[in-house]
Amino acid sequence: MSSALQRSLEAGSITITAEVMPPRGGDPAHTIAMAECLRGRVHAINVTDGSRAVMRMCGLAVCRLLIDVGLEPVLQMAGRDRNRIAIQGDLLGAHALGIRNVLCLTGDPVRAGDQSSVRSVHELESVRLLQQVSAFNRGEDPVKEKLADGPINLFAGAAADPHCASWSGLSRRLARKREAGARFVQTQMVMDPRALERFCRDLADPLELPVLAGVFLLKSARNARFINRMVPGACIPDHLITRLDQADDPMAEGIAIAAEQVRQFTGIAQGVHLMAVKAEQRIPEVLERAGVSLPVL
C-alpha cells in the first residue's frame, strides 16, 4: 500500500510535511512528543539524519517509533556518513520496519558540525542514493541480480535549493535526480516567492516533480542571524531580520512570517515542508494562521 504522502502528492492535493530532530541521547520521549503535536496536521513527518553534521539518534529508530504511535515518517538518509554496504542495509531495514518514504540527501559538510576530526564517506551522494533506492524498488540485488524476497517499496524524494546561485547547475542536478528516481522535491528554506515560482515553473513542473516548499520558523533576529551564519545555503533577507528585531514578541512575529509564507507558497508549489527546530509545537499555530485546512489522511 502506498503512503499517505505518496497518495496526496499523486492526487495533486495540497500536501503538508514537517520535520522533527532525533534526540542527542538515548531517550526519544521529547522527539515523540513534538511529533505528536503534528498529528492530524501533516501528511508525514521527516526525521532528520545528522543535520548540520551533528550527532543524533539514528533516524531508522525514530521512524519506527513514529510508526508505533500511528504517525507516518519520512526517513531522511544522507550519504555523508555511510558506505554503500551500510546504506544498502539501512534501505532494506527501513522497508522491513514499515517505512515507506525516504528523502535522499548528500548531507551537510562535516565542517558545519561540532566534531571537526570526523571523516566523511560520501560513497553515495544524493543521485547515486536515489539510483540505489530505485534498483531495490525494481528488486535488483547489487551482486546476485535479484533480491531474494522481491522488490521493496520506498517512495523516494530529493532536496533542492531554489535560491541556488548556479541555475544551470540546479537544472542539471534536478534532472539527474528525477532520472535517478526522485518522485517529489522538498526544498531548502525559501525566502523569496519569486525564486520558488521560477523553480517550479521552469525546472520542477517540466519534470513532473511535485514540490514541497521549505518554510522555516524564525524565532528571533538573533536566531535568523545564527542560521545565516551556520546553516549551509541559508539566505534570510535583512528586511525579515529587521522585522523580527523590531517586534515586541519576536516568536509571534516569526509565526506570522511563516504563516504568510505558507499562504504564498501553497499557491505556487503543491505544498510546504515546515521546519521549526526546537519549536515543533508551534507548527499547528502557523498552519492555523495560514488558513490551511487539515490534510485528508
The whole-number average pLDDT for the span 127-138 is 98
Instruction: Look at residue 294 in the predicted model and tell me its pLDDT.
Output: 59
Name every residue whose Cβ is closer than 8 Å to that of residue 201 and which is 6 or more positions away in sequence: none
Average pLDDT of the chain, as a whole number: 94
Cβ–Cβ under 8 Å, residues 116 and 167: no
| pLDDT average, residue stretch 68-85 | 96
**What is residue 297's predicted lDDT score, i.e. its pLDDT?**
44
Residue 127 is predicted with a pLDDT of: 97
CB 71 within 8 A of CB 61: no
Q: Do the bridges between strand 140-141 and strand 145-146 make them parallel or antiparallel, or are there none, so unpaired?
A: antiparallel
Determine the Cα–Cα distance for residues 155 and 44; give it in Å rounded to an integer.
Answer: 12
Separation between Cα atoms, residue 161 and residue 182, nearest integer Å: 15
Q: What cell does 265 get?
A: 507558497
Average pLDDT over residues 242-265: 97
Full-model pTM: 0.95
Cα torsion 52, 54, 58, 63 to 10°: value is -40
pLDDT 10s digits, 157-179: 999 999 999 999 999 999 999 99
The share of the chain scoring above pLDDT 90, in percent, equals: 85
Closest CA to 223 of 205, 198, 245: 245
Exposed (0-12), middle (13-18) or buried (19+): which is 293, by Cβ within 10 Å?
exposed
- Percent of the chain residues past pLDDT 70, beyond the cut: 98
Triad 73, 78, 81: Cα angle to 5°: 130
Model pLDDT for residues 141-160, shown as the tens digit of each residue: 999 889 999 999 999 999 99
Q: What is the pLDDT of residue 272?
A: 98
Say if residues 132 and 151 touch (Cβ distance below 8 Å).
no
Pick the residue with more confidence: 227 or 210? 210
Angle between helices 250-265 and 283-290 (to 10 degrees): 50
Give the mean model confidence (pLDDT) for residues 212-236: 90
At 252 the pLDDT is 97
Mean pLDDT, residues 55-84: 96
- Buried (b) or exposed (e) across 204-219, using 16+ Cβ within 10 A? beeeebbbbbbbbbbb
Q: Would you say 246 and 213 are in contact if contact means Cβ atoms under 8 Å apart? A: no
Chain segment 254-282, per-residue pLDDT in tens = 999 999 999 999 999 999 999 999 999 99
- In this predicted structure, what is the pLDDT of residue 97? 98
